[in-house]
């Protein structure tokens, strides 16, 4: 009887040990420091970005830095990603701009949504300071009217991060031409209500 009991305990012990790592146990994915799970493909996020912002405009050049003394400049590099799609139905938009283009008379007006994402780095400001950065999305609704043939411009303001002496906005102006954007101008402006650093004499 004692031998039977010891054999039964040994059998139960072996059974429980075998069940601890079963192939039927559900696998729990580990969280990463980025959004999503470790097992997910980062290509998915890239595809989502590309579908909303399929086009790109390169940002490169030198901009006047109004937050420092005269003749201070900042080098900008990066890109504006954008997408333009027709909006159907009654959508409510935060910003609406009239976009006029030559159309046959009697054609109803059409609305388009312009999605923008600016990803830029600026090197300027105080020495030893982190590079300034702009990483922000924006949108604009434009209306195509057959009644007028004017060109439309979109102007957007993006806050620059990591500035050292005064908060700055990057002002970017685009010309809308069908489903394409053309960069017209870009400049840095001190945020309203702030004074730039005193000019050295």
Q: Does 92 have pLDDT greater than 80? A: no
For 154-183, how does the pLDDT look when each residue is reduced to its tens digit (9 = 90+)?
A: 999 999 999 888 899 999 999 988 788 999
Helix (H, G, I), strand (E, B) or coil at 9: helix
Contact at 8 Å (CB) between 142 and 176? yes
Question: Taking the CB of residue 46, how many other CB atoms lie within 10 A of it?
Answer: 10
Q: What is the pLDDT of residue 62?
A: 95
Cα gap 143→152, rounded to integer Å: 10
Question: Which has the minimum average pLDDT: 80-84, 183-187, 190-194?
Answer: 190-194
pLDDT at 147: 66
Q: Which residue has the tokens 């890239």?
A: 46
**Residue 143 in contact with residue 109, Cβ under 8 Å?**
yes
Q: Distance between CA 141 and CA 147 in Å, rounded?
A: 18
- Read off φ and ψ for residue 78, nearest 5 degrees: 150, -150
Q: Let me know if 167 is exposed, middle or buried by CB neighbors in 10 A (0-12, 13-18, 19+).
A: middle
């Amino acid at each position: 009887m004692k031998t039977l009991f010891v054999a039964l305990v040994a059998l139960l012990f072996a059974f429980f040990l075998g069940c601890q790592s079963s192939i039927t146990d559900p696998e729990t994915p580990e969280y990463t420091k980025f959004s999503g799970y470790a097992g997910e493909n980062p290509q998915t996020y890239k595809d989502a970005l590309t579908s909303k912002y399929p086009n790109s405009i390169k940002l490169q050049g030198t901009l006047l830095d109004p937050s420092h003394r005269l003749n201070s400049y900042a080098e900008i590099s990066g890109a504006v990603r954008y997408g333009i799609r027709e909006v159907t139905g009654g959508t409510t938009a935060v910003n609406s701009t009239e976009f006029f283009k030559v159309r046959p008379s009697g054609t109803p007006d059409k609305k388009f949504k312009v999605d923008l994402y600016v990803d830029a780095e600026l090197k300027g400001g105080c020495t030893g300071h982190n590079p300034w950065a702009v990483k922000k999305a924006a949108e604009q609704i434009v209306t195509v009217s057959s009644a007028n043939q004017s060109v439309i411009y979109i102007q957007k303001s993006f806050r620059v991060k990591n500035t050292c002496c005064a908060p700055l906005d990057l002002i970017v102006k685009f010309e809308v031409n069908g489903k394409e954007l053309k960069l017209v101008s870009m400049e840095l402006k001190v945020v309203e209500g702030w004074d730039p650093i005193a000019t050295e004499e």
